[in-house]
Amino acid sequence: MKLEAIELRRIALPLVSPFRTSFGTQTERDVLLVRAVTSDAEGWGECVALLEPMYSSEYVEGAQHVMERFLLPRLLAQGDVTAIDVARLLAPVQGHRMAKAAVEMAVLDAELRLAGRSWAREMGAVIDRVPSGVSVGIMDTLPQLLDAVQGYVDEGYVRIKLKIEPGWDIQPVAAVRERFGDIALQVDANTAYTLADAQHLAQLDAFGLLLIEQPLPEEHVRAHAELARTVKTPICLDESIVSAQSCVDAILIGAVHIVNVKPGRVGGYLEARRIADVCAAHDIPVWCGGMLETGLGRAANAALAANPAFRLPGDISAASRFYERDIVTQPITLDEGYVRVPEGPGLGTVIDQAFLDQVTTSVTTHRA
Ligand code: NPQ
Ligand code: MG
């Protein structure tokens, strides 16, 4: 495909309610969107980097700068590109996986739209709907948490994920288990603990959790293997898995039992598929994580989660979990605990241009 231009657009979307985790509270999203313009089709990509480098080292302003200064010039100089080329062409630029992933996503979407092929087919999807889990933030009080979880249970979510941190862990889990019985339940610490907390975290073993997600810092991969000697609840890694190679390494040292796959975190949907294949080969279940995506990333994630390696409900909730209104004409909705896998070429989404223009804060166009 002849890549003629790449447009970078920033949009501001308020969250329906503050989302508090161990690394901070988010009340609105500043999202960087990528539009790849080729001779025959256009494609959209979404960068999952947050406003501040608190979840990982990337942040939205930095991602835009790296795209404009280092990534787009390399790609546009190429002229003819296909999605499979993007990672190789951008590999000389170290890191910045969320920025690279957004660019690859836009090129892949254009390519698939041109070819009339669906994202689902490209991701190896074998089903047309996937089970939906929801991520529940840290609250000020237990009654507030139980009310929120009641709301999600009533909506039909099949799995609840509770954000935890020191001082908000055993009690919230006990209260939710006590109130909602044998509901599918897991926790996410976003790296908030150390090995010294092993005995404390082992108290969670009493609650029959599916998994405990990223208890220790991103780089402390081996320490998770040590933690697994004390904590019997399966260990899931999120922040630590940045590529198929890092995933294999974590598996081989016994640091991970379940993998949270986030395409943005690993440099793109093509690498995410490789991670799914690697985990399937090692009989390690994977599930699709969420980064509060708009309808673009949410559609792509639903398609990825329909790949048979994805054996647990993902954080692919209805758009309404986070947003009053989405930037696509058919936002992802919940249907008896499941979300549908979009059909149609590419992402299978249609941009709501009027609303997109309304929430746009900047647009820059880059040509060869
Ligand atoms: C996680 N996602 O699994 C991340 C953390 C997270 C759904 O819990 C803006 C963008 C705010 C991405 C807050 C979920 C975010 C964000 C939290 C990701 O660790
Ligand atoms: Mg996580």
pLDDT of residue 353: 98
Contact 138 CB / ligand 1 (< 6 Å): no
Q: Please write down the HEC assignment for all residues of the chain.
A: CEEEEEEEEEEEEEEEEEEEECCEEEEEEEEEEEEEEECCCEEEEEECCCCCCCCCCCCHHHHHHHHHHHHHHHHHCCCECCHHHHHHHHCCCCCCHHHHHHHHHHHHHHHHHHHCCEHHHHCCCCCCEEEEEEEECCCCCHHHHHHHHHHHHHHCCCEEEEECECCECHHHHHHHHHHHCCCEEEEECCCCCCHHHHHHHHHHHHHCCCCEECCCCCCCHHHHHHHCCCCCCCEEECCCCCCHHHHHHHHHCCCCCEEEECHHHHCCHHHHHHHHHHHHHCCCCEEECCCCCCHHHHHHHHHHCCCCCECCCECCCCHHHCCCCCCECCCCCCECCEEECCCCCECCCCECHHHHHHHEEEEEEEEC
Pairing outcome for strands 258-261 and 235-237: parallel
Q: How far is the CA of 156 from the centre of ligand 2 (A)?
A: 22
pLDDT of residue 368: 84
CA distances from 83 to 43, 104, 146 (A): 11, 6, 44
Catalytic residue among 2, 100, 161, 163: 163
- Measured in whole angstroms, the distance separating CA 121 from the mean position of its chain's CA atoms is 19
Contact 290 CB / ligand 1 (< 6 Å): yes
Could you report the average pLDDT of every consecutive run of 10 residues in the chain (368 residues)?
96 98 98 96 98 98 98 95 97 98 98 98 98 98 98 98 98 98 98 98 98 98 98 98 98 98 98 98 98 98 98 98 98 98 97 98 96
pTM of the model: 0.98
Q: Active site includes 262?
A: yes
pLDDT of residue 287: 98
Q: Active site includes 232?
A: no
Contact 287 CB / ligand 1 (< 6 Å): no
Token pair, residue 70, equals 């280092």
- Closest ligand to Cα 211: 2
